[in-house]
Amino acid sequence: MRVLVISASRLGSTHEIAERIGWRLSTAGLDVQTMDAATAVTGSALDAGDAYVIGSAVYAGHWLPSALHLVREHRHVLAARPVWLFSSGPVGDTATRYPPADPKDVAQVASALHPREHRTFAGALDRERVPEAHLGRVERFVATHLVPEGDYRDWMAIDRWADDIARDLRPTAERYSVSQAGVAEQADAADLNSAARKGV
């Protein structure tokens, strides 16, 4: 049971949420690979996944283009397996005072992928990362002057969500390993029968 945790980020904080989810799932015994949405969209990397967690940072109310591109290009592969979605966005007062609003694209993404759940987590803004980031002119201005700086990510909420995913997947993972063990037992039995016939 391999879980691919795929994320889209401009300033790195959403990748860090994805890494944390991946770490948490792996401590629950799942085989996890984390990857950037821009990498996942090319090649056949998605074929290796038995389940997917897909997340994007929210900019101007929207998921990032690389995450939307991934969903558009690979919706049939993704929708055929269990999928969870997350968004990472609200910072400042919006993160602490109000319940998070869904980004505009989530309804469309959900209708393509039929996820088990979508969750919005508070985000982070570290202005020191702005000079290195791939931001447009307006975004750079907004990041430097308008969006409140700070780390609002709720790691306990993120961990709890990852644990829920692990719990949801574990029965499937157990069925998978039992059926693998069953195949191994049958193979052992066949070997024993054949050895017995040969008088070994």
Residues at the contact surface with ligand FMN, assessed by CB under 6 A: 9-14, 57-61, 88-91, 123-125, 139, 142-143, 147
Nearer to ligand FMN, 74 or 153 (CB): 153
Is 11 or 78 the residue whose CB approaches ligand FMN more closely? 11
Least separation in angstroms between residue 173's CB and ligand FMN is 29
Nearer to ligand FMN by C-beta: 10 or 169? 10
- Report the residue number whose CB is nearest to ligand FMN: 123
84 versus 173: smaller Cβ distance to ligand FMN: 84
Q: Is the torsion defined by CA of 19, 20, 23, 29 positive or negative?
A: negative
Nearest approach, Cβ of 138 to ligand FMN (angstroms)?
Answer: 7
Minimum distance from residue 86 beta carbon to ligand FMN (Å)? 11
Shortest reach from residue 72's CB to ligand FMN, in Å: 20
Distance CA 62, CA 54 (A): 14
Instruction: Give the Cα separation of 62 and 156 in Å (integer).
Output: 25
Distance, CA of 55 to CA of 22 (rounded, Å): 12
Residue 9 makes CB contacts below 8 A (sequence gap 6+) with: 15, 36, 56, 57, 64
Distance CA 39, CA 86 (A): 18
